[in-house]
A and B are shown apart, each in its own frame.
Chain A
Amino acid sequence: SHYLTQPPSVSVSPGQTASITCSGDRLGDEFACWYQQKPGQSPVLVIYRDNKRPSGIPERFSGSNSENTATLTISGAQAMDEADYYCQAWDSSSTVIFGGGTKLTVL
């Protein structure tokens, strides 16, 4: 996966489900993770190894990865989830690649 493609923006109504995709050649053969970044803050890991949640991340965040697409799903989105989201994978054992980022709007 030399490039990861994300939609620039996704909108969701409060309480509804938001899905953010990340596409890359044979991405499903690698582990993907997802970062949340709010304005003026460092990225925070919300999903690693495709579908694992770090301690402290709400259960409404989930992930999947198959074939060419990884997906971050936020079930019951809240206003506090409004942020930029980035997918990240490894293009080799040491080369890091990021998606272009998706701005999630909750309105």
Chain B
Amino acid sequence: QVQLQESGPGLVKPSQTLSLTCTVSGDSISRGGYYWNWIRQHPGKGLEWIGNIYYSGSTDYSPSLKSRVTISVDTSKNQFSLILRSVTAADTAVYYCARLSNVGGYWGQGTLVTVSS
């Protein structure tokens, strides 16, 4: 069973950088065949795709966040990470990591990140 777990600070100050890591178990990122995604959900709102990465390091980002986002992968640790720069209160959300494909999706439990001074 594939499991994903987000980790990182729950509180980030405005203008600073949000950094989260997703640890994968039950599958190997380097096996290929899947895209490893970051998705967020503002309080009471819908799902917003942030971007994803393939095991090769190829990335794709939401146009609305592309200028502030970097997603990277560490296949030796079976982890992938999210960096979101210059955060504001509008970036307060639950952040999910997920393995998505045409044959299914596995999601982490999500982690609430609050942007506040």
Find out whether the CB atom of A96 lies under 8 angstroms from the CB atom of B104.
no
Number of A residues contacting the other chain (C-beta, 8 Å)? 25
A5 to chain B minimum Cβ distance, whole angstroms, is 12
Size bracket of the B interface: 20 to 34
- CB contacts (< 8 Å) of A43 on chain B: these are 47, 96, 105, 107
Query: Nearest CB to that of A2 among chain B residues?
Result: B63
A100 at the interface (CB under 8 A from B): yes
A92 neighbours in B (Cβ, 8 Å): 60
User: In the bound complex, what is the Cα–Cα distance between A95 and B65 (angstroms)?
Assistant: 13
Contact B54 A94 (CB under 8 A): yes
Q: Per-residue CB proximity of B42-70 to A under 8 Å, as 1/0?
A: 00001111001010001010000000000
Contact between B110 and A49 (Cβ–Cβ < 8 Å)? no
- Compute how far the CA of A54 lies from the CA of B96 in the bound complex, rounded to whole angstroms: 21
Q: Hey, what's the 0/1 contact readout for A16-36 against B, CB within 8 Å counting as 1?
A: 000000000000000101010
**A52-B105 Cα distance, complex, nearest whole Å:** 13
| Cβ–Cβ contact A94 & B46, under 8 A | no
> Is residue B109 within 8 Å, beta carbon to beta carbon, of the partner chain?
yes
A44: nearest chain-B partner, CB-CB: B107
Interface residues of chain A, those whose CB is within 8 Å of chain B, are: 31, 33, 35, 37, 42-45, 48-49, 52, 54, 84, 86, 88, 90, 92, 94-101
